[in-house]
Structure 1
Amino acid sequence: MSLTSRIALAGEEGTDPEDILSESLGVVFPDDVTNQHGDPDSWLVYTSPHLPRPLQLKLCQPGDDTERRLFSHYLWNSSLLLAELIERDSYLVGREGGTVEEGDEAGSVGLFNVRGRRTVELGAGTALPSIMGGLLGAEEVLVTDYPAPPLIEALRTNVGRNVTVGLSPLGRVSLDVRVLGHEWGTFPEGDEVTGKRHTFDRVLVCDCLWMPWQHGNLQRSVDHLLKQTTEARCWVVAGFHTGRSKMAGFFDEEALKEEAGCEIEKIWEQDCDGKQREWVKDQQEEDPGTRKRWLVVAVLKRTQRER
């Protein structure tokens, strides 16, 4: 099943997700894959056969050019993929025995389990991966994005509407779920995110690599929030739609070590149909249509510091 098959564009907010689905405008995904989803006047509906009802996701209304250039008013395929991986490893693997799926050359099954763990998402956009974590057993869920009021308001709407017992296949949700503004690499004294230093078992990063000038700030936020334990992990998923060269620098070994205190445990590329291939940092740029189909998936762990 295609990665984009779970998402549909709906009209005005409804009181029942099934009503929204039945009235959905629908989203047609031809061979030229859609990698960004949303419309300022519409909601998105996310369906999964494992959730009791579909999720409803509100998109922010950018207030000015600065907020618009963040591109947080879309849902990107990287968030769709990480949400599926969290669902698979936090819910399905436990129920189905955890066998490695056919075609999983990266050996990724089991890596994305949030049960009993504290998670924080950076540059959350619609917060879909965090919402999935809140529904599937995470102990604490912190959702963050740039502190622009329209964006934070949309995130709080999405979290409040979707992290509910009625939408969880477990019949329970995380009790500690919050939304806070955070500018990457900035830790003012007395700020709530600043106070969360080295708190989280898992840091989630989706489609935040397209701005090379922000890589260092993003890495510093990862370092600040991720626990300093051998079990702590940062999950990074990003699309190639702006070009491989723009995002590849984030994975520079020295920069990751110095700024994030992390190293790469696993990294691979995956397309919208689940096909996997080896990550190649310096590969020649592909045509735009091909780039839109592929994402890079990385699992970072704490660097073992010399004593």
Structure 2
Amino acid sequence: MLDNHSDCDNLGGPSCSRRSESPVSDREDGDFFGLDDLLPEPESPLPAPYSFSTYEIPDDVDLKINDEENRGRQLVLRLVGSHPLWGHHLWNTARVFSTYLQRNPPLVKQRRILELGAGAALPSIACTLAGARQVVITDYPDNDLVENMRFNVDVNIPGDLRGNVDVVGHLWGHDVKHLMARTDNEGYDLLILSDLVFNHSQHDALIKTVNSTLSSSPDACVLVFFTSHRPHLVKEDNAFFPRLAASGDGWVYQKVVEEWAGAMFEDDPGDEKVRGTVHGWKAWRVQQGEQPGEIH
């Protein structure tokens, strides 16, 4: 069950004003941005204050954890006050994704998991609580983002599980030695990509990291969840999957979720149904008897 808190809920922290228009809607081009645009903005004399949002673990999810600090079933996520990579929002996709992961234990329990572009790291935290063997949380190597992810881990993960979690910066398409070393170079059983495919110019870089970090285990897979926040670019968002299928030794992909979560920003243009629907896909390397591409 999704909660109704916005990403500007004030839980004792500084207040913030919620934008009614998404940052992604500010760009009309299909490529969105390139590597030069990923460079952090110069520091301002007065950085924007943090905001906080919450996520309720569904009642039907059975979590057997030792929670000496009595956190209950509510996760509290701190969000950076402002960021050019939009880490200052807790996206509806992340909420749906986290619920899906917790309701599908075989995907998570005792598995090595890597999240790319994690933002507030909600899906990774959900995986840790659901019994993952190891979770490595990554985002663009910007100090504000990385330190904020560490804060969210400290706040939401009980002490006896924190040794299962690592937070590190990673730039898609670049050297993955620091990520692979954390698995003794065996790779990860599950990769998590939450609301990343809107960045069309970075599809190839993202796919390069995916091909370089997923283990060779036959049950290893990638979960890609996203919302098309710009309805006129749905085709470009979905182009990620055939591009992935054609990469490496070939990939198969299949839709596993289509869920209405509500539009994040009421003033955005385009069909509200498109802007408020989360799509979830599972992808895995081609196995014997399979052909690259979509399974319907």
The TM-score with structure 1 as length reference comes to: 0.69
Tell me if structure 2 keeps the 8 A contact 1:4–1:77: no
Tell me if structure 2 keeps the 8 A contact 1:8–1:46: no
1:162 Cα offset (Å):
0.8
Secondary structure, counterpart of 2:161 in structure 1 = coil
Secondary structure, counterpart of 2:165 in structure 1 = strand
Q: RMSD of aligned C-alpha atoms? A: 3.3
Report the count of equivalent residues: 243
Distance 1:251 1:240 in 2: 14
The answer on 1:195 being equivalent to 2:187 is: no
Distance 2:88 2:6 in 1: 15
Secondary structure, counterpart of 1:217 in structure 2 = helix
Secondary structure, counterpart of 1:86 in structure 2 = helix
Q: For residues 45 and 260 of structure 1, do their structure 2 counterparts lie closer, same or farther at Cα, with a shift above 3 Å needed?
A: farther
1:168-222 per-residue CA deviation (whole Å, 9 max, x = no partner) reads xxxx63632100000000007xx51253555110000000001111001111111
1:141-290 aligned at under 5 Å gives the runs 141-164=135-158, 173=161, 175-187=163-175, 191-193=177-179, 195=181, 197-242=185-230, 243-252=233-242, 255-259=243-247, 261-267=249-255, 270-272=258-260, 287-290=270-273
Distance 1:71 1:158 in 2: 16
Match of 1:294 among 277, 288, 293: 277
1:53 Cα offset (Å):
3.5
**Structure 2 counterpart of 1:224, which letter?**
S
The TM-score with structure 2 as length reference comes to: 0.71
**Structure 1 counterpart of 2:222, which letter?**
C
1:100-137 per-residue CA deviation (whole Å, 9 max, x = no partner) reads xxxxxxxxxx6xx3001000000001100100111110
Tell me if structure 2 keeps the 8 A contact 1:61–1:150: no
Match of 2:99 among 72, 84, 88: 84
Distance 1:262 1:60 in 2: 37
1:209-268 per-residue CA deviation (whole Å, 9 max, x = no partner) reads 01111001111111111101211010000101123123111011xx32443545234215
Secondary structure, counterpart of 2:240 in structure 1 = helix
Distance 1:86 1:262 in 2: 25
Distance 1:76 1:57 in 2: 12
Tell me if structure 1 keeps the 8 A contact 2:54–2:75: yes
Segments of structure 2 that go 5 or more residues without pairing to the other structure are 25-47, 64-71, 263-268, 290-296
1:63-83 per-residue CA deviation (whole Å, 9 max, x = no partner) reads xxxxx3311221111111110
Secondary structure, counterpart of 1:82 in structure 2 = helix
